[in-house]
Amino acid sequence: MTTARDPTPYWSDSAGLPRFSRLDADTEADAVVVGAGITGLTAAYELAAAKRSVVIIDRGRCASVDSGHTSAHLTMVTDTRLTDLVDQLGRAHAQAVWDAGLAAIARIDEVIRRHEIDCGFDWVEGYFHQRPGDAGWREAERLERDAELAAELGFDATCVRETPLTGTPGVRVDGQARVHPRRYLAGLAKAVVAAGGRIHEHTDAGEFSDQPLAVTANGHRIACRDIVIATHNPLVGIGGTAGATLFQTKLALYSSYVVAGRVAKGVVPDVLLWDTADPYRYFRVETYRDHDIVILGGEDHKTGQVADTAERCPRLERALEALAPGVELTHRWSGQVIEADLFDPSRKAIRHGLWDYLKENSSYPYYLIRDRFAGAEGRSLRAVRRGEGKVVERNGGKAAVYRDAAGAVTVRSATCTHMGCLVRWNPSEKTWDCPCHGSRFAPDGRVISGPAEAPLAEAG
């Protein structure tokens, strides 16, 4: 028997995020922060704490896009393995990357204590480990090298023969943490307001001007001395269209899937896990007085580039059932993860940087040209069934056609408003996804996540 799963993130129904009004008049501030995910709210918090007047605007609701879809492992362990970091950046910079992660966790802990935010934060052990069923002594040897290197750089890391829950070789890293992300961000938003910050939701930054510096949102002008762009994907605005667009194309957007379920209290260890397979899976626990929630993520792929999106969560559910037998599966969701050169957008990582740029952007010319000449999936609106989307030939162009459960049809242009590739239907998320740089659009064409900034146009 298949039980219906909640298709929203586990966090969305239990956060108590306050609501904030739209911007409805011109105003001014020392700083405007555009985007109210973890990056924007943290920047606003630090600015307000430094006695700067700050306005934070978001085109939707706070903490609802990526920061509402995360699995919220708080860790210094990056997706790029420590041995690779040292190869690419050298020991000092690799150490700085891990140090920064550790410092960020400590800062979150400090903020939570100062404002007494009830968000399930706890320090736990983290393990990266061989995936059960993946044979190979080479991986075990590599894990040993990772552990030695981490210890040499001064981190509390130890090689273990058996990772908790999986029983496979791994590296234990002490001093990692977990948090309920939306409860934490609800507390952070309240702290920003208590320190004098102003938050406006449903307020879309539409225009930037730089002499004098200002952001126009909802048709109102916010004059300011500084602007923080915290939109996950950079906006094309100040700094020149060409520069920002080039940076957008340097980002690689991946879709990642997560499933969650309820288990009896204490039957799984309260640890963070990541395996070393590609794509990797990540696991954590959210604890309650009388039960625990187990969360497993993974199955990443470049956004818009696979057809089997609907099979990814069921695969994760089978893996979670193997890790936590008897789990009562409750939630499934997905979101986007960005991969980019570490930390600094302008860092000149000559050899690897250029290679990564070519590798991640090989999709753009391929899909742009292929999709121009490929046939559409149908020639008539009747080809689209209820609850389904299809790219359909229409008036000599290609239209993104969606028919909702009640039978109503929405027709938009299928051309991505970022750089002109054709979007495709994602049946798992019910979104239009662009295979070139990963923009996602709602069935009615609204932008869910960039780099595209404008909705899918009216179909011709």
Ligand X SMILES: Cc1cc2nc3c(=O)[nH]c(=O)nc-3n(C[C@H](O)[C@H](O)[C@H](O)COP(=O)(O)OP(=O)(O)OC[C@H]3O[C@@H](n4cnc5c(N)ncnc54)[C@H](O)[C@@H]3O)c2cc1C
The alpha carbon of residue 245 and the mean position of all alpha carbons in its chain are separated, in whole angstroms, by: 20
Work out whether 329 is an interface residue with ligand FES (CB under 6 A). no
* Beta carbon nearer to ligand X, 69 or 390: 69
For ligand FES, which residue of 231, 255, 439, 449 counts as binding (CB under 6 A)? Answer: 439
67's contact among ligand FES, ligand X, none, with CB below 5 to 8 A by partner kind, is ligand X
Task: Kindly give, in sequence order, each residue whose CB lies less than 8 Å from that of residue 56, ignoring residues fewer than 6 positions away.
Answer: 32, 33, 34, 35, 36, 40, 41, 44, 192, 197, 198, 199, 200
For ligand FES, which residue of 451, 453, 456, 459 counts as binding (CB under 6 A)? Answer: 451
Local structure of 268: helix, strand or coil: coil
For ligand FES, which residue of 232, 312, 418, 424 counts as binding (CB under 6 A)? Answer: 418
For ligand FES, which residue of 193, 213, 419, 442 counts as binding (CB under 6 A)? Answer: 419
Rounded distance between C-alpha atoms, residue 23 and residue 407, angstroms: 36
Work out whether 421 is an interface residue with ligand FES (CB under 6 A). yes
Rounded distance between C-alpha atoms, residue 18 and residue 64, angstroms: 12
Closest CA to 413 of 434, 430, 383, 429: 434
Tokens of 345: 């957008």
For ligand FES, which residue of 227, 436, 456, 459 counts as binding (CB under 6 A)? Answer: 436
For ligand X, which residue of 337, 399, 401, 414 counts as binding (CB under 6 A)? Answer: 337
Work out whether 293 is an interface residue with ligand X (CB under 6 A). no
Strand ranges, E, within 179-320: 198-200, 205-210, 213-217, 220-229, 252-264, 272-275, 282-287, 291-302
Work out whether 426 is an interface residue with ligand FES (CB under 6 A). no
Give min distance, CB of 423 to ligand FES, in A. 7
* Beta carbon nearer to ligand X, 163 or 398: 163
Rounded distance between C-alpha atoms, residue 364 and residue 215, angstroms: 31
For ligand X, which residue of 303, 336, 363, 415 counts as binding (CB under 6 A)? Answer: 336
Amino acid identity for residue 372 in this structure: R
Give min distance, CB of 291 to ligand X, in A. 21
Work out whether 182 is an interface residue with ligand X (CB under 6 A). no
For ligand X, which residue of 23, 32, 33, 34 counts as binding (CB under 6 A)? Answer: 34
Work out whether 30 is an interface residue with ligand X (CB under 6 A). no
Rounded distance between C-alpha atoms, residue 21 and residue 9, angstroms: 24
User: Which H or E element spans position 424?
Assistant: strand 424-426
> How many residues contact ligand X, by CB under 6 A?
32
* Beta carbon nearer to ligand FES, 146 or 371: 371
Rounded distance between C-alpha atoms, residue 314 and residue 81, angstroms: 28
- CB burial class (10 A; 0-12, 13-18, 19+) of residue 437? buried
| Residue range at the interface with ligand X (CB under 6 A); choices 29-37, 89-97, 353-361, 388-396 | 29-37
Rounded distance between C-alpha atoms, residue 429 and residue 335, angstroms: 9
Work out whether 71 is an interface residue with ligand X (CB under 6 A). yes
Give min distance, CB of 247 to ligand FES, in A. 12
**Site track 374-413 with ligand FES (rule: CB under 6 A), x = hit:** ----------------------------------------
| Residue range at the interface with ligand X (CB under 6 A); choices 22-30, 31-39, 147-155, 161-169 | 31-39
Work out whether 112 is an interface residue with ligand X (CB under 6 A). no
416's contact among ligand X, ligand FES, none, with CB below 5 to 8 A by partner kind, is ligand FES
Give min distance, CB of 242 to ligand X, in A. 19
Work out whether 452 is an interface residue with ligand FES (CB under 6 A). yes
Rounded distance between C-alpha atoms, residue 402 and residue 410, angstroms: 5
- Unique residue bearing structure tokens 């792929």: 301
Identify the bridge partners of residue 228 per DSSP, sorted by sequence position. Answer: 33
413's contact among ligand X, ligand FES, none, with CB below 5 to 8 A by partner kind, is none
CA distances from 352 to 76, 85, 445 (A): 22, 11, 36
Count of Cβ atoms closer than 10 Å to residue 41 Cβ: 28
Amino acid identity for residue 50 in this structure: A
60's contact among ligand X, ligand FES, none, with CB below 5 to 8 A by partner kind, is ligand X
Tokens of 334: 């997905």
**Residue 293 main-chain phi, psi, to 5 deg:** -110, 130
Give min distance, CB of 414 to ligand X, in A. 22
Work out whether 38 is an interface residue with ligand X (CB under 6 A). yes
For ligand X, which residue of 235, 236, 295, 320 counts as binding (CB under 6 A)? Answer: 235
Rounded distance between C-alpha atoms, residue 187 and residue 192, angstroms: 9
Rounded distance between C-alpha atoms, residue 460 and residue 452, angstroms: 20
| Interacting residues toward ligand X by CB under 6 A | 34-40, 57-60, 64-67, 69-73, 204-205, 230-232, 235, 256, 258, 297, 335-337
